[in-house]
Structure 1
């Protein structure tokens, strides 16, 4: 690789200066939501097609499939009174940028369109994938990513509205950047939407389409790009990576959280993988199942059958009772069929054989082009590279290495993934890594103020528990307006009935907000953390949330009823801190259904063998159960 040394030094110095300026502005409290500084273009771009149609005739190798296509006045003009008329050209590319200047000269109606063929058989046969623009491009579906299936049916995966209508007689600069199954849509230099749903063929080429219109094209350019599609192009927002799925709104590392993240607009799902006792890779963060299931024990000491029998949802809220710990194979199958990409953390030390099993599952699920491996464990990354060099790698770090660029080169990294605090303390690292062609993914960030700071430094992706909010924040910046905040309480579900054995998470989803305050009966609680129901009175309770942003404050309220149940009372007794004899006495009375005796015993031993604050609650629950007896 040949690099112009003077240019290299100037770009590196400029990148550091911008990073330092962003850090200084952050410290002064004046950093604003401006477009991220563009990083140096990575080496390796190669122009495949560059056509301005100055030759006066169709270029060699361009194939008219149907409709009328001709060169007039230095532009390629396509006309279609009906149907999807197309012309194919170029060659098959996995990673490329498709650019052109487009002008609608005549349309039957504003819903008519032109399209960029992203993966089209050279003969124009179905299926094919396109990026569509209507002349009424500011409609809600003015821009689309869509597939024409082999059966001749439309599969529209993504829609967006451009900031204005292309109309007729107006030149619009359009660019689509494709990396495997991912594509970004740029309208006059600004990203409008992104998809992760393309299904690529082995030999599809590029094409132009017209439908119910006459459209002229100029400056058509196809550029082959380096494979690292994780570097953020100029005009693009940060990539949204959902930490353990949408873990603020659903039980982490489950298919429920994955679906919530997908619907929230996350670009990637981040999850953790570890082996069961019998060697099956499962999706779980902790070394034990204690915190996020109804079971106990280390994951490596439990068989796959034992793990699949556990409830991984009720700890979060009763609404999610029955959710299971997915295997890696199940998670990948869900992503393959329903859409989405995976940032997979190999959690903890793994042997080479254990990493080989992970790679085997990824290959069996045909997901090598949609999985990104990351880990704190250097050996896990080395094993992955040896076994599957086609998989992109990211190194997780809590603190920064002395020379992140050197370790990135040594480990063949696609991304360097530090904690956000370490990155903000040394922001020049972003420019250094970008200069080396390495992306930067910061974790785990749930604050809009920190999103803003990282965005200004040019970070490529942010891992967050709040993917819906980050996706909404991105949209607000892209469309040049800060939305009014919204708030919704997703857990506990409004109107639900709970008992003391449950620990529902205070789950709040917001958009357009910088801060969120949550209270339970007026007392502050932390969003995303389990609620302690052991000290509450029986009856109705109120959770209130307030999301505050530049455009105001949005409230949300949810109520639940705390009921006395034998299971709840048993949990209360066991966790009350009472001495062993008192616990045994109360549990034996409870088992016999002698609730009134439980109440009397707790009151007699209050402040002695039973802590006073729990004795009162135990007595109240026991008397409530006594009154319910026939």
Structure 2
């Protein structure tokens, strides 16, 4: 979902939601009848009954109904007073009138819980507002983790302070893992970072404050269409081809994770079936190019494939990356923002298609998947097996009547080769007139991105989604507002061990220049930083962006920690001679950290071992003593 699309959809719903607020029944959990084009009212509550409504569960702090308002109070700045309510919803808009009655200080806050267990237990995601709402972090999207720490993903100032004694109407629109904060009818900040659960409900929270809430309205809303909205600042969706295959080995979990962290709207992968019918994520029909195995995938079992290395061919930093199954990818993506553009390579038997679609159904992820294929029989079988699964047609050429073909296959998107589409760009308008999206493959050149954007395609399949995310963001900088920058990888506070890698990725708005440094040294977005090369302790990724209206900066601090496994990795590195390696491994096996450090230091002094690996080994061993 693009920011421009979020903004348009959010504003489009506001007048309707306001009308519903006037006409909806003032009772909890009473759905209102809705016309075919109206969102369904799930809950409308004005607390006129004088008591906490049925179905509302006060799980922490003091909650009561006073003077027709729900009042929540926390006893200290560390208590998160919580009340939960409502059903589990995927796409919804929640509106509420909020008033701070008393606050410990202006940094204290109230929040709408967007996904919280009915018993209020962690983890949960919230949309937060402080009484000092115009502060740089006056509005936030944040997670309370299972370890009771905070993960704040997005912050922004509201247009003015909520203060105390003032009613403020707020709304949050949630579509899957994406959400938009709307403060007094103004769209302020959006996120794609929510992790959704299967059973999470809604809630209200007060921290270090007494807060009163009124006129709670929850309506179900539709998924955003995959066709691109019309507008000068509209940009095509970013589709990470085989994951972020420009910086990680294609079709691996590392590439999928990197693609998700860039902010790409879709992750594209390829699937074949093994000889025992397991859907395996692999582009080629053979194992030779991207694994250390050989032969046709169709001739081997999933168990054999699970033992292969799918990362070393790309870089030693990815040695040991397994060949994932479709189930592995779905599990990694479940509850997170991007959708999966799943290419079935074909040919596949009907039974193999049943197995593949069952993997998706069993995880309740039909709404997160678009299945595409060049193989027409694959699409016919998929439609018969699961009518609710969205389909897309891949084409190496453009049909004489692409819209008619798309309708015949009942697809939501027609995804052609860009090499062929540029010869018939008028096909884009023909498909859009039929309500069909167009997402061509595989385009890595920014000059071509500009042509595709101006032609109005709905998505671009690329090996470099991080670059396209940044390129899109620069395009929408038509209004001279202050730039913003967010580091999406690595996560601030991350703890790394030897063998881990960092792939710097930032998302910016209204910026035309991006400078990224790691420990003061320039690095490129999408480059790979190997934790094996870093000293123990904290390391800082720092990003500075420049826009028309100024600069913005962000930083993320990661910590490299020592471990026995990490020492083994360092001791078996290519720069360590065999006789030194054997001595080191014997000492590590005995957990004799002093001897391990001494051996490394002596080897460096003798000139038998380079200073860099030797000093790292010695430092890690000293840290474990």
- TM class, shorter-chain normalised? 0.5 to 0.7
Shift in alpha-carbon separation, 1:461–1:79, aligned structure 2, 3 A: farther
Measure, in 2, the Cα distance between the counterparts of 1:393 and 1:300. Answer: 24
Shift in alpha-carbon separation, 1:121–1:259, aligned structure 2, 3 A: closer
- Tell me the CA shift for residue 194 of structure 1: 1.3
- Tell me the CA shift for residue 242 of structure 1: 1.8
Say what the alpha-carbon RMSD is for the aligned residues: 5.0
Deviation track 1:66-102 (CA, whole Å, cap 9, x = no partner) reads: 5345466x97654444433344444443332223454
- Tell me the CA shift for residue 45 of structure 1: 3.9
For the pair 1:313 / 2:311, whether they are aligned, the reply is yes
- Tell me the CA shift for residue 160 of structure 1: 0.5
Measure, in 1, the Cα distance between the counterparts of 2:453 and 2:138. Answer: 28
- Tell me the CA shift for residue 48 of structure 1: 0.9
Shift in alpha-carbon separation, 1:37–1:428, aligned structure 2, 3 A: farther
Secondary structure of 1:361's aligned partner: helix
Match of 1:47 among 34, 40, 43: 40
Conserved in 2, the CA contact under 8 Å of 1:245 and 1:261? yes
* 2:91 counterpart residue number: 95
Match of 1:347 among 345, 348, 351: 345
- Tell me the CA shift for residue 327 of structure 1: 2.6
Q: Give the alignment of 1:520-599 within 5 angstroms.
A: none
Match of 1:223 among 213, 219, 223: 219
Deviation track 1:553-573 (CA, whole Å, cap 9, x = no partner) reads: xxxxxxxxxx9xxxxxxxxxx
Match of 1:186 among 178, 181, 190: 181
Measure, in 2, the Cα distance between the counterparts of 1:244 and 1:511. Answer: 20
Measure, in 1, the Cα distance between the counterparts of 2:258 and 2:359. Answer: 24
Measure, in 1, the Cα distance between the counterparts of 2:169 and 2:458. Answer: 24
Match of 1:291 among 286, 289, 293: 289
Deviation track 1:175-206 (CA, whole Å, cap 9, x = no partner) reads: 433345x23223432552113521121xx543
Measure, in 1, the Cα distance between the counterparts of 2:4 and 2:366. Answer: 35
Conserved in 2, the CA contact under 8 Å of 1:376 and 1:396? yes
* 2:153 counterpart residue number: 159
Measure, in 2, the Cα distance between the counterparts of 1:114 and 1:237. Answer: 34
Structure 1 stretch displaced more, 261-270 or 164-173: 164-173
- Tell me the CA shift for residue 465 of structure 1: 1.8
Measure, in 2, the Cα distance between the counterparts of 1:59 and 1:452. Answer: 55
Shift in alpha-carbon separation, 1:215–1:442, aligned structure 2, 3 A: farther
Measure, in 2, the Cα distance between the counterparts of 1:418 and 1:214. Answer: 57
Conserved in 2, the CA contact under 8 Å of 1:314 and 1:322? yes
Q: Give the alignment of 1:259-408 within 5 angstroms.
A: 259-304=257-302, 307-308=305-306, 310-336=308-334, 342-363=340-361, 367-368=365-366, 370-398=368-396
Deviation track 1:301-345 (CA, whole Å, cap 9, x = no partner) reads: 444455445443333233334433223233334445999653221
- Tell me the CA shift for residue 252 of structure 1: 0.7
Measure, in 1, the Cα distance between the counterparts of 2:452 and 2:102. Answer: 44
Measure, in 2, the Cα distance between the counterparts of 1:306 and 1:64. Answer: 50
Measure, in 2, the Cα distance between the counterparts of 1:413 and 1:385. Answer: 9
Secondary structure of 1:249's aligned partner: coil
Deviation track 1:556-611 (CA, whole Å, cap 9, x = no partner) reads: xxxxxxx9xxxxxxxxxxxxxxxxxxxxxxxxxxxxxxxxxxxxxxxxxxxxxxxx
Measure, in 2, the Cα distance between the counterparts of 1:454 and 1:467. Answer: 15
For the pair 1:248 / 2:246, whether they are aligned, the reply is yes
- Tell me the CA shift for residue 271 of structure 1: 0.7
Q: Which runs of 5+ in 2 are unaligned?
A: 14-34, 490-502, 515-524, 527-544, 551-573, 575-625
Measure, in 2, the Cα distance between the counterparts of 1:79 and 1:309. Answer: 55
Conserved in 1, the CA contact under 8 Å of 2:47 and 2:214? no
- Tell me the CA shift for residue 366 of structure 1: 5.8
Structure 1 stretch displaced more, 206-215 or 164-173: 164-173
Measure, in 2, the Cα distance between the counterparts of 1:97 and 1:51. Answer: 12
Conserved in 1, the CA contact under 8 Å of 2:262 and 2:507? no
* 2:429 counterpart residue number: 428
Conserved in 2, the CA contact under 8 Å of 1:53 and 1:59? no
* 1:620 counterpart residue number: none
Measure, in 2, the Cα distance between the counterparts of 1:481 and 1:440. Answer: 33
Conserved in 1, the CA contact under 8 Å of 2:178 and 2:190? no
* 1:195 counterpart residue number: 193
How many equivalent pairs are there? 464
Measure, in 1, the Cα distance between the counterparts of 2:447 and 2:388. Answer: 36
Measure, in 2, the Cα distance between the counterparts of 1:364 and 1:148. Answer: 26
Measure, in 2, the Cα distance between the counterparts of 1:92 and 1:50. Answer: 12
Conserved in 2, the CA contact under 8 Å of 1:105 and 1:168? no
Q: 1 or 2 for the larger relative contact order (CA 8 Å, sep ≥6)?
A: 1
Shift in alpha-carbon separation, 1:514–1:120, aligned structure 2, 3 A: closer
Q: Which runs of 5+ in 1 are unaligned?
A: 1-32, 489-506, 517-526, 529-547, 553-562, 564-630
Shift in alpha-carbon separation, 1:427–1:159, aligned structure 2, 3 A: same
Deviation track 1:97-128 (CA, whole Å, cap 9, x = no partner) reads: 22345454543234422222334566x44357
For the pair 1:465 / 2:463, whether they are aligned, the reply is yes
Measure, in 1, the Cα distance between the counterparts of 2:446 and 2:486. Answer: 12
* 1:497 counterpart residue number: none
Match of 2:113 among 105, 108, 117: 117
